């Protein structure tokens, strides 16, 4: 299995986003701003849902990759390190999801 991680892609996105390279989709998204990047994130989420509902396994892998890439772009534009999200996910491992929701609703 590849050792490629979300942090690796986060670094690529930070570099390409600032590159100003006209061939770079990331640079284009950075220049367009958060609204456009968030819109693309939403579109990729819908395409991921469609692949899942259709039982399209290859599509689900491909659309999930598009989704995660655009999610990382939106995080970068908001100056939120992916480590913050991973830390939040790690914090949640201390509790099951249903127990966590019940505590929130108390």
Ligand X SMILES: N=c1c2ncn([C@@H]3O[C@H](COP(=O)(O)OP(=O)(O)OP(=O)(O)O)[C@@H](O)[C@H]3O)c2ncn1[C@@H]1O[C@H](COP(=O)(O)O)[C@@H](O)[C@H]1O
Pair 13, 5: CB distance under 8 Å: no
**Least gap, CB of 80 to ligand X (angstroms):** 18
Q: Which residue in 26, 48, 76, 82 binds ligand X (CB under 6 A)?
A: 26
Pair 70, 37: CB distance under 8 Å: yes
Stretch that binds ligand X, among 21-29, 31-39, 79-87, 97-105 (CB under 6 A): 21-29
Q: Which residue in 10, 25, 52, 85 binds ligand X (CB under 6 A)?
A: 25
The interaxial angle of helices 34-54 and 57-77, nearest 10 deg, is 160
Give the Cα separation of 54 and 94 in Å (integer). 34
Binding residues for ligand X, total number by CB under 6 A: 8
| Residues binding ligand X (CB under 6 A) | 12, 16, 24-27, 66, 69
């Amino acid at each position: 299995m590849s050792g490629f991680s979300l942090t690796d892609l986060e670094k690529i996105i930070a570099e390409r986003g600032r590159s100003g390279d006209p061939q770079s989709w990331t640079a284009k998204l950075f220049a367009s701003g958060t609204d456009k990047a968030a819109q693309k994130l939403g579109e990729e989420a819908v395409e991921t849902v469609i692949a899942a509902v259709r039982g399209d396994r290859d599509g689900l892998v491909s659309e999930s990759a598009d989704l995660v890439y655009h999610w990382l772009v939106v995080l970068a534009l908001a100056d939120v390190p992916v480590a913050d999200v991973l830390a939040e996910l790690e914090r949640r491992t201390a509790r099951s999801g249903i127990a966590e929701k019940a505590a929130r609703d108390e």
